[in-house]
Every structure is written in C-alpha cells, then in structure tokens.
Amino acid sequence: MALTINDKVTPEAKKDILELRDKINGFNLGKEDEERFKLFRLARGVYGQRQQGVQMLRLKMPYGKLTGSQLVRIADLSDEYSNGNLHATTRQNFQLHYVKLEDSPQIWSRLEEEGVTTREACGNTVRNITASANAGIDPDELFDVVPYVEATFKFFLRNPICQQMGRKVKIAFSSSDKDSALTYIHDFGFIPRIQDGKKGFKVVVGGGLGAQAILAKTAYEFLPAEKILPFMEAGIRVFDRYGEREKRHKARMKFLLDDKKGIGLQGFLDLIEKEWLANTNKDFPIDYYEEEIPTVKQAPAVTIQDQAAYDHWYATNVKKQKQADLYSVEVKIPLGNISADTARKFVDGISGYVADDIRVHINQGFVLRHTTVENLPYLYNTLKELNLADAGFDSIADITACPGTDTCNLGVTNSTAISLILEEMLQKEYAELVKNSEIKIKISGCMNACGQHMIANIGFHGSSIKHGNLVVPALQVVIGGGVAPDGKGFIADKVIKLPSKRIPNAVKVLLDDYIEKSDDGEYFNDYFQRNGKMYFYGILKPLADLESLSESDYSDWGKTELYTPEIGVGECAGVTLDVISTILGDGEERISLAQESLSLGRWSDAIYHSYSAFIVGAKALLLSKDHHCNTHIGIIKDFDEKFVASGEIKLPYSFEEKVLEINKREPSEEFANNILKESNSFLSQIIALRKLQVSGTAIDTNKEVISSFYNA
C-alpha cells in the first residue's frame, strides 16, 4: 500500500515519515545494516517485540495528555494495524503491539494528523516528558507545570544534541512537593518553587531505576524558570560528551554523577557552567499561561443501582480540584490495557461532560478533569457499562505491571497474569486497604524495572530458580520503595526470591503482619524500616521451601506448559555492532545535517552536527586500530595522542582544542560556517585514509569492528 500523507502533517513530521519509509525499504533490500537500522527506527518509536516479524509502536505524549479525537484515532489505528488493544504505560504513553514494520510510516502519518508523534519515543533520546496527571487542578500546587512541560517537549524534539546519546534521558515535572511524578528517579526532575514572587523549580538530577536504582541528587533548591531549559541543554551536552557509550549497563546519567566512579554532582555542575556558553539561549523565558476552564454540559439524571458501590467509587476515584466546585474523575484501567472498541465508547460517553483533556496517569489509568458534582452519577454509570468503574484508583489494588513475557524480549516471567490474580484477591480480602492509596504494588517482568518495582512499597521482578533438572518461575520480592506522604522518595530493598505461584500468599503474609503489628496510621515504609529487612526475610522464608513444590509451581501464571526461560535481546539502548565504513557514512550524514541547519539559520544545530562529525570520524579511525573509546571526551583525547601526535593525521591544530571550541564560543553564523568547513575537511581526510587501509596500501587492511558498542 502506498504511503499517503495529508496536509495536516507538518513539514518536519512529513520529512521524518518519508525518511522512515525509505530506511525500511533500504533495509528490506539489504542496503541498510541491521543494527544501524535498529538504532534509527528506535528513535522513531519502532521497537522490536518478543514475537518475530512484528513491532511495538510507541507514541510520545508529553504529560500524557490526549483529546477525545486523538484517543479515537489511536483506537482506529489499533484496529486497522494492530491487535485492537491500546496499552498505556508508566511513562504516560500508549503502545500498539503486533505492528508490521512496513505499516509504521502510515500509522505515524495518521497520528500526526491529530497532533501525536512517535519521534524519539524510544532509543537513546530524550524520552517522553512526564508530569503529575493532576497538574493544573492540584490543590497543593504553587502553579501549573504544564507550560514548562510543553516548552521542554518542543525544545528537545529533533534537537541534534539528544538524537544519539549514550543512553536515554528521562525528565519529569511534579505538581507539588508530594512528588506524584516521581522526580526522584529521573535524570532531570523539577518541583515548583516561588521565591520573592518569582516562579522557579527545585531541580534534582541523576536518578534512575533499572538493575541498580539510584535516588536523584538535588542540584538546586531554586532555579529560576527561565534557566531550566538552558540548564538541561548544557547538562545533556555534558552527558553526551562525558557519558559512557560502550558499557550499556553503565551508560545512564546516574553513573556519570557517581562521586567515586563518575564525575560527581559538583563536577557535573561545573561542566554545565562551562558548557552554558554554547547554548543558543543563555536564558529561555517560557510563557506561562493559565489553563482555560471549559464549561461542561449538565448530564442527564440517572439512577444508581448499587449505592454502596457508588459510594466506594466516589471515595477512591473522585477528587476535588483546586478550582471551586469542580471535580476530577479517575478511571482504573487494569494493566493499562483498553480495547479499541471500549476506547471509542469511552470517548463517546464522556464527551461534553468533562473537559476534552484526558490525562494518562503513571499508574496506567486515566484522569478526567473539570466536571461537576451533579455529573458524577452519570459518569459512574457510563463507566460501569464499560467495566471501567472499579474503585481503588492508585490504591493497593491498582497494580502497575509491564507487559513482561507477553511481548517484551527481556521478559523473564509473566507480570500481567499475576497482577490480575492479586488485584482480585485484594478487592475481596482487603477491602479496607483498597481505600489506602499509600501502599503501592508494582511488578516488572525483569530487573529492568519498566513496571517500576523498585519504587513500590511491595514490588516484584521476574526471575527463576533452578530445582533439580527443572526451572521454577520466580519473582524477586522487594519492599520499602515509593513516595511517602511528605514527598520523600524511597528505593526498595531486595528481600527474598520466591516461586511465582506463591506470591499471593507472600502478599497475604505481608499485609496480615502490617495490619496486626503496625502502629495506628503508620506508613508502610516506616513499618518496614522499624522492623528491618531480615524480619521480613524471616516471615517470608517458609514460602521459599522448594521441597514442597507442587506440579503447578513449575508453570508460570497464565501458562500450562513447564516453564523455560526465554530471554531475547532487548532494544532499550540501541545497537551493539557496526563496521567502520558504516560509521564514516554516519559522519557524512552529520555533515549533510550541518549544511541543512546552516541554510535554515540554525547556527547552534549546525555547530553540534559538525562537532558530531568530528567525533564519528575520530572514533572510526581509532576503532580501525583496535582502540576502543567509551566516551566522547575519551575519543577526543585519544585521537590527539594516537594519530595527531604520531603525525599519521596532519592537522594545523590540536584536535581537542578544535573540537571543544563548541563550548568556548557563542553560536554564530561565522563560527557555524568555520567549524563546518573544518569538520568536513577532517572527515574527508579520515575517509581518504580509510580507503588506503582497504586498498592494502596502509596497515589494518579492511578491518571490521563487530563487537564494539558503537554509538558515537
């Protein structure tokens, strides 16, 4: 089917979509290296899933905002190109699964017609920017963070400084000190502050989950609002230059900021100060605006059939807004999965009775805004007809879980089926705790924490246990993570690994002990800290006895066959191999991008593309000598030593001084022109030397690099 792009699609998006189509065609014809193509498609939201021959397509929706027409468009595309399911994620996105690679440009085009993109939804980019789902209506907020989220999203989209970093960067804005956006696990986190009548933010940096969870560090208690984008721009430039690129598991910003093995927080801030000069804008004022509150229709009068059920739903799923006489309605979406048909009926049922502003919550549910108390019975009945009126939004019975082995290459165990089992048990046996939204349960299919298990009061991640000749599906139990009522963040402690089928009993043991032995009103994590990790190991240890396993324990939840670990290769970070000729081709592409930026008057973009061409060319030649470099700064220094000092490459300047001019000069047309000429000349010299190598007239003839983590 021919690709069609209508006039509603912006020129920038149209160019992106056509480029994706051409890359797919080139890949299918064998003209694109597979790993290089993978790096490209990931940055366009196209992610390989566990099943062969199909992809997961991830959307990029800043702060999870959707209009009704956008949700309907996503639903229609899911029916037409996917499996009819929409999956909401913990990063306020939607994912469509079982998408054919060839269909992804057309899906993207039709999403762009409604103002939704997939650009930079995956890969080593600035990922979707999250924010509190109640931003703008939060009674505790000093001001609405949405204008700042919008500005940040627009600033970094297609920005050359963050297209091919060593790893991804995640940014979050919380509406208040309660930190409902979990800034403490982000690379950059922002919490509103007002000082002397001026808007600004508390800034935290270097947090993250994954196999090694780390709390973010406070960079500023107050940073004026006009400084946050220059701060992030300079910070990403530093991360791009100094961050790890070869060892994927050490390539996140949290490791760069490590005081012992990295440059530390102060070293990071010092480098940012030096880099600030290279920013296009030293200050970036963001126009603040107040959200326009719509007038909603009065809903028809309805009869509530089960008053007790309605009252329970009202108590847990309805919140008063900061706007007088207005309410928000929270919609629990089990596992974040909603069928396309239900999504369309949902939009049709609520339209006009709430604002045309659906927010995807980080717990994978929806938040509806700006309705009246009189409309609540109608909305409840509408949701109930769609099986979306379950009480307990964001409670202990609203479990967060990633797709696990359903679709993910990295999934070790099934995280979805166990979630449904636990939710049913909690609703039936712990109804009082369902009203306690301060206990959170989160499950990940592996240790990489897409289900955010390390910030759960009670969390689990997929694992396995060898027993004789068989393997038992298991879950690692972690306890004590999450956000306290005062906004303090906690990382959970690993306690014990248990067979998966025993997890419901493990949850019962923990909750029964908490109910019996906690002080009145005691926060769960305080109860955990008071008793200590070994106490909980002790009460759970009987469930770890493998001698009493039953036959069903050797099958995972939702399965009947014996469990066999099947872990594929994840695509969270990019590529793991390349060849020197391909690397040099990337350098030529950077030169072309620099020329394009120069013609458009984007001096800073042109300068950064030229800088990147210097780096790519230098790395290619270093790899041809079997010299591996894992940071940009390492490449810069080593190239001077290995090639310039030896005279093999003749340059009229120090390579390091020339390349690092970018953080010593203001962006200008003159500088952009000069560095482009020098970068182009440098790359031409590298390509000429490479041709001599390949022809046999230089050493290291036709050397291929096939095991080095290439991501320059």
DSSP letter for each residue of 235-288: HHHHHHHHS--S-GGG-SHHHHT-TTTS-HHHHHHHHHHHHGGGSS-SS-----
Domain count, the chain: 5
pLDDT tens column, 342-395:
999 999 999 999 999 999 999 999 999 999 999 999 999 999 999 999 999 999
- Residues 6 or more apart whose CB falls under 8 angstroms from that of 67 comprise 114, 356, 357, 358
Does 614 score more than 60 pLDDT? Answer: yes
Q: Are residues 71 and 187 in the same domain?
A: no
Q: Are residues 417 and 354 in the same domain?
A: no
Provide the pLDDT for residue 649: 85
Q: Are residues 513 and 442 in the same domain?
A: yes
- Per mean pLDDT, which of 10-14, 433-437, 486-490 is the most reliable? 10-14
Q: Are residues 158 and 103 in the same domain?
A: no
Provide the pLDDT for residue 700: 44
Mean pLDDT in residue range 71-96: 97
Q: Are residues 529 and 494 in the same domain?
A: yes
Mean pLDDT in residue range 27-39: 87
Torsion, Cα of 501, 503, 505, 506 (10° steps): 150
Mean pLDDT in residue range 79-94: 96
Q: Are residues 312 and 362 in the same domain?
A: yes
Inside any domain, residue 704: no
List C-alpha distances in Å: 280 to 271, 347, 600: 17, 42, 15
Task: For residue 499, give the nearest of 455, 434, 548, 430 by alpha carbon.
Answer: 548
In this prediction, residue 694 has a pLDDT band, given cuts at 50, 70 and 90, of low
The SS3 of residue 217 is strand
Give the span between the Cα atoms of 46 and 422, in whole angstroms.
Answer: 32
Give the span between the Cα atoms of 689 and 639, in whole angstroms.
Answer: 14
Mean pLDDT in residue range 503-529: 95
Whether the Cβ atoms of residue 63 and residue 129 lie closer than 8 Å to each other: yes
CATH of the domain at 336: 3.30.70
Q: Are residues 458 and 514 in the same domain?
A: yes
List C-alpha distances in Å: 186 to 210, 214, 521: 11, 9, 30
Structure tokens at 95: 């994912």
Pairing relation of β-strands 337-339 and 85-88?
A: antiparallel
Inside any domain, residue 120: no
Whether the Cβ atoms of residue 120 and residue 160 lie closer than 8 Å to each other: no
Inside any domain, residue 356: yes
Task: For residue 76, give the nearest of 346, 340, 338, 342 by alpha carbon.
Answer: 340
342 φ/ψ angles, rounded to the nearest 5 degrees: -65, -40
Provide the pLDDT for residue 450: 84
Give the span between the Cα atoms of 73 and 332, in whole angstroms.
Answer: 21
Which of 501, 520, 554 marks a domain boundary?
Answer: 554
Least reliable range by pLDDT among 70-74, 141-145, 587-591? 587-591
Task: For residue 102, give the nearest of 20, 9, 13 by alpha carbon.
Answer: 20
Q: What percent of the chain has pLDDT over 70?
A: 95
Does 1 score more than 80 pLDDT? Answer: no
Per-residue buried b or exposed e for 551-561, using 16+ beta carbons within 10 Å of the residue's own CB: eebbbbbeeee
Q: Are residues 549 and 408 in the same domain?
A: yes
Mean pLDDT in residue range 231-247: 94
Provide the pLDDT for residue 59: 98
Q: Are residues 348 and 432 in the same domain?
A: no
Inside any domain, residue 591: yes
Which of 536, 554, 572 marks a domain boundary?
Answer: 554
**How many Cβ atoms are within 10 Å of 294's Cβ, its own excluded?**
12
pLDDT tens column, 430-478:
998 988 768 999 999 888 878 899 999 999 999 999 998 899 999 999 9
Least reliable range by pLDDT among 26-30, 479-483, 574-578, 594-598? 574-578
pLDDT tens column, 267-326:
999 999 999 999 989 999 999 999 999 999 999 999 999 999 999 999 999 999 999 999
Q: What ranges in 101-191 are assigned the alpha helix state H?
A: 104-112, 146-156
Provide the pLDDT for residue 644: 87
pLDDT tens column, 42-63:
999 999 888 888 999 999 999 9
309 φ/ψ angles, rounded to the nearest 5 degrees: -65, -40
**How many Cβ atoms are within 10 Å of 644's Cβ, its own excluded?**
17
In this prediction, residue 567 has a pLDDT band, given cuts at 50, 70 and 90, of low
SS3 content of the chain, % helix, strand, coil (to 5): 45, 15, 40
Which of 79, 97, 112 marks a domain boundary?
Answer: 112
Per the model's pLDDT, the better-predicted residue between 408 and 121 turns out to be 121
Provide the pLDDT for residue 620: 86
Mean pLDDT in residue range 540-556: 93
Give the span between the Cα atoms of 329 and 333, in whole angstroms.
Answer: 13
Inside any domain, residue 634: yes
Does 699 score more than 50 pLDDT? Answer: no
Inside any domain, residue 185: yes
Give the span between the Cα atoms of 666 and 193, in whole angstroms.
Answer: 31
**How many Cβ atoms are within 10 Å of 384's Cβ, its own excluded?**
17
Structure tokens at 346: 């949902």
In this prediction, residue 34 has a pLDDT band, given cuts at 50, 70 and 90, of confident
What DSSP string describes 179-201?
-TT-GGGSSEEEEEEEETTEEEE
**How many Cβ atoms are within 10 Å of 133's Cβ, its own excluded?**
28
Q: What ranges in 430-487 are assigned the alpha helix state H?
A: 431-434
Per the model's pLDDT, the better-predicted residue between 566 and 29 turns out to be 29
Mean pLDDT in residue range 392-401: 93
Mean pLDDT in residue range 84-89: 96
Task: For residue 24, give the nearest of 56, 51, 46 by alpha carbon.
Answer: 46
Provide the pLDDT for residue 295: 94
Task: For residue 56, give the nearest of 133, 110, 139, 121 by alpha carbon.
Answer: 121
The SS3 of residue 48 is strand
Give the span between the Cα atoms of 28 and 31, in whole angstroms.
Answer: 8
Q: Are residues 406 and 517 in the same domain?
A: yes
Provide the pLDDT for residue 519: 92
Provide the pLDDT for residue 579: 53
Provide the pLDDT for residue 702: 41
Q: Are residues 420 and 542 in the same domain?
A: yes
Give the span between the Cα atoms of 420 and 559, in whole angstroms.
Answer: 14
Inside any domain, residue 508: yes
List C-alpha distances in Å: 706 to 89, 535, 626: 34, 49, 11
CATH of the domain at 261: 3.30.413.10
The SS3 of residue 413 is coil
Amino acid at 464: S
Whether the Cβ atoms of residue 519 and residue 528 lie closer than 8 Å to each other: no
Provide the pLDDT for residue 695: 65
Inside any domain, residue 287: no
List C-alpha distances in Å: 629 to 38, 167, 464, 559, 572: 22, 16, 35, 45, 21
Provide the pLDDT for residue 212: 87
Q: Are residues 409 and 550 in the same domain?
A: yes
Give the span between the Cα atoms of 75 and 94, in whole angstroms.
Answer: 10
CATH of the domain at 35: 3.90.480.20
Provide the pLDDT for residue 705: 39
HSE, CB side, 13 Å, CA atoms: give it for residue 371: 26
Domain extent, residue 458, equals: 400-554
Structure tokens at 500: 């998966």
Whether the Cβ atoms of residue 94 and residue 88 lie closer than 8 Å to each other: yes
Pairing relation of β-strands 198-205 and 217-224?
A: antiparallel
Provide the pLDDT for residue 211: 79
Does 263 score more than 70 pLDDT? Answer: yes
